[in-house]
Amino acid sequence: MTRITLTIDGETVQADEGTSLLEVARKAGADIPTLCHNEQLKPHGACRLCTVEVVKGKRTRLVASCAYPVEEGLVVRTSTVEIEKHRKLLVEMLYPTALHLAKRYGITKSRFEAERGDCNLCGLCVNYCREVAHRNVLYFEGRGIDRKVAFVPGKAQECSSCGACFELCSGGFVVTNHGTVSLNERI
């Protein structure tokens, strides 16, 4: 496997080709917040909390580190004033879900009206159900502001022998399908 050399927060580090920036940076000691990331799952790229700054040649941009594979010669900064401002805004928009992050950023209220207080559509439950549990009970229904986690009709019983997604959810373990079923009740 090809080794790749890059700079993270001023330090030169080496990593295998194909690894994500998030993984490498965390190994190098960076403290990057994430919400939709889970080592067992493919990158989902929904929350953007893992945003870092990458400098490639003359260009500087902000990228989602969980979905960005390491590149030779990349110069990465994992925390800048701009990044922290960005993260704080995202956490405020997630409020009142993801309260562990709200605490970290000192957020106790939000200027934005919460669309819903439970699910923040991080996708951990849906992706886990598909990629790891291989049960395909959950899916995202609808799109845009109507998007919600839903059960495939008639398949919800399968959850009684799994339930792994409860542990993953940061939003209070509530998943509703047409506003009726909730994982909370453990079906």
Partner 1 sequence: MCPQTVRNEAPSDDKRWKIINATMRRNGDDSHALIETLHSVQETFGYLDDVALSYVAKSLRTPLSRVYGVATFYHFFTLKPQGEHSCVVCTGTACHIKGAQALLSAIKGSFGVAPGETTADNKLSVISARCIGSCGLAPAVVIDGNVMGNLSPQTLVARVEREIG
Please state the closest distance from residue 48 (CB atom) to ligand FES, in A.
5
Nearer to ligand SF4, 90 or 168 (CB): 168
Contacting residues toward partner 1, per CB under 8 A: 129-130, 136-143, 150, 152-155
As a whole number of angstroms, the distance between CA 128 and CA 79 comes to 29
Tokens 């959950």 belong to residue:
138
As a whole number of angstroms, the distance between CA 158 and CA 164 comes to 12
Member of 46, 98, 137, 183 binding ligand FES (CB under 6 A): 46
Does the protein bind ligand FES through residue 47 (CB under 6 A)?
A: yes
Query: Under a CB-based contact definition with an 8 Å cutoff, are residues 126 and 140 in contact?
Result: yes
Query: Under a CB-based contact definition with an 8 Å cutoff, are residues 125 and 148 in contact?
Result: no
Partner whose binding site includes residue 152, from ligand SF4, ligand FES, partner 1, none (CB under 5 to 8 Å by kind)? partner 1
| Encoded tokens for 139 | 């899916």
Please state the closest distance from residue 98 (CB atom) to ligand SF4, in A.
8
As a whole number of angstroms, the distance between CA 9 and CA 7 comes to 7
Q: Measuring CA to CA, which residue among 87, 19, 81 is closest to residue 48?
A: 87
Does the protein bind ligand FES through residue 49 (CB under 6 A)?
A: yes
Judged by CB under 6 A, which stretch of 11-19, 30-38, 86-94, 150-158 contacts ligand FES? 30-38
| Encoded tokens for 3 | 């080794």
Does the protein bind ligand FES through residue 19 (CB under 6 A)?
A: no
| Encoded tokens for 4 | 């790749």
Does the protein bind ligand FES through residue 96 (CB under 6 A)?
A: no
Nearer to partner 1, 70 or 119 (CB): 119
Residue whose CB is nearest to ligand FES in the complex, by number: 66
Mapped onto helix, strand or coil, the DSSP state of residue 151 is strand
Does the protein bind ligand FES through residue 35 (CB under 6 A)?
A: yes
Contact residues for ligand FES (CB under 6 A)? 34-37, 45-50, 64, 66
